[in-house]
């Protein structure tokens, strides 16, 4: 009944939204404040990311915060960097205190970690009552744990900060860091093009799955990370999305979509909400973007960015 009700709501919403406005996406960034990348200091990254978003006329993005990172060496000055994002018009939300994997953590301990993060976040300027599961792990095949977390979030007044689009940007960033540390020559123009192309490709791939599942294009939420790649090329990515027909919307607007009422029942609760809904409806695999396969993504990085032969 939950799926039938949700699909009816989605159909009604689709009829109410003009066709021209049906390719919409909000930008969200995980793991803030994040460790250093290949090219910038954390402070430089924040300055460039804020400037890039402003240059691209992006009104609001969301940063999902791990307050536990503030105690690390790279977390020094992290509170100031988070406040700078908020001062620029962006919002912050809960990504847990210490970034645990739910499938390896007791539900009670996991909720306590969320509470610890809430203790730091709640009451701050820009705060939103959203929680995003680290690793997008919502309990895996353990439905009792999944349901315990759903109930725990509801009791705390927190909503699931779900994701509908994932381009595995963390993997591109990891490849860049590894190449830089190894002293390899990195073609920065090729890396920019691969980053932008991959993120736009992810948006279109997951939108196609959503349309097959829901009969409409929902307000999408893309998972990005607070990386050097984003800081360097977020304006290029936004320009490419707009050229492809996408409207950049606020996280507030995206999380007002009827998708917020979806709690799919699937064999394993991990990944994008798009995939889970398609799985629940019975759409066959693949229900994800081909470049989420890190073997394929790694090969593209070696060939195009490092100019290495297969």
> pLDDT tens-digit profile of 85-113?
999 999 999 999 999 999 999 999 999 99
Cα-to-chain-centroid distance, residue 58: 16
Could you read off the pLDDT of 223-262 as tens digits, one per residue? Answer: 999 999 999 999 999 999 999 999 999 999 999 999 999 9
Tell me which DSSP letter residue 36 carries: P
User: What is the rounded distance in angstroms from the CA atom of residue 80 to the CA atom of residue 46?
Assistant: 10
User: What is the rounded distance in angstroms from the CA atom of residue 56 to the CA atom of residue 51?
Assistant: 9
Tell me which DSSP letter residue 166 carries: E
Query: Can you give the pLDDT at residue 43?
Result: 96
Average pLDDT over residues 156-174: 98
Strands (E), the chain: 24-32, 62-65, 91-94, 127-131, 137-140, 159-160, 165-166, 219-225, 247-249, 269-270
Q: What is the DSSP string of 115-165?
A: HHHHHHHTTSTTEEEEE--GGGEEEET-HHHHHHHHHHHHHTT-EE---SE
- Structure-token pair, residue 117: 């993060």
Task: Kindly provide the b/e burial profile for residues 262-272, where b requires at least 16 CB atoms within 10 angstroms of the residue's own CB.
Answer: bbbebebbbbb
How many residues are present in the chain? 310
Residues 43, 251, 155, CA angle at the centre, nearest 5°? 105
CATH of 22-88+161-305, picked from 3.20.20, 3.30.2220, 3.90.1150, 2.30.110, is: 3.20.20
Domain ranges in the chain are 22-88+161-305
Q: Is the pLDDT of residue 18 over 90?
A: no
What percentage of the chain reaches a pLDDT higher than 70? 93
Confidence of residue 12 (pLDDT cuts 50, 70, 90): very low
How many CB atoms sit inside 10 A of residue 196's CB?
Answer: 20
Q: Is residue 187 helix, strand or coil?
A: coil
Could you read off the pLDDT of 40-62 as tens digits, one per residue? Answer: 999 999 999 999 999 999 999 99
Whole-model pTM: value is: 0.92
Among the listed ranges 10-19, 193-202, 223-232, which one has the minimum average pLDDT value? 10-19
């Amino acid at each position: 009944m939950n799926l039938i009700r949700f699909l009816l709501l989605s159909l009604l919403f689709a009829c109410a939204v003009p066709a021209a406005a049906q390719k919409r996406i909000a930008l969200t960034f995980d793991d803030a404040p994040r460790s250093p990348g290949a090219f910038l200091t954390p402070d430089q990254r924040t300055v460039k990311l804020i400037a890039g978003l402003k240059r691209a006329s992006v009104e609001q993005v969301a940063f999902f915060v791990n307050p536990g990172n503030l105690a690390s060496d790279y977390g020094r000055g992290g509170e100031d960097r988070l406040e700078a994002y908020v001062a620029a018009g962006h919002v912050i939300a809960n990504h847990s205190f210490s970034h645990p994997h739910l499938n390896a953590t007791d539900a009670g301990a996991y909720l306590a970690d969320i509470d610890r993060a809430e203790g730091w976040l709640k009451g701050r300027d820009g705060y939103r009552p959203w929680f995003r599961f680290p690793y997008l792990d919502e309990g895996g095949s353990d439905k009792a744990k999944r349901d315990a977390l759903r109930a725990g979030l509801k009791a705390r007044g927190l909503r699931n900060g779900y994701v509908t689009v994932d381009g595995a940007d963390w993997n591109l960033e990891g490849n860049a860091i590894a190449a830089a540390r190894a002293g390899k020559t990195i073609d920065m123009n090729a890396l920019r093009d691969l980053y932008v192309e991959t993120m736009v490709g992810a948006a279109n791939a997951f939108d196609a799955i959503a349309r097959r599942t829901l009969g409409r294009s929902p307000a999408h939420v893309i998972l990005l990370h607070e990386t050097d790649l984003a800081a360097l090329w977020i304006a290029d990515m936004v320009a490419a999305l707009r050229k492809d027909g996408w409207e950049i919307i606020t996280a507030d607007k995206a999380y007002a979509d009827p998708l917020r009422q979806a709690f799919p029942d699937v064999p394993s609760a991990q990944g994008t909400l798009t995939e889970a809904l398609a799985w629940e409806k019975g759409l066959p695999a693949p229900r994800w973007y081909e470049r989420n396969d890190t073997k394929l993504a790694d090969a593209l990085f070696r060939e195009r960015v490092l100019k290495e032969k297969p």
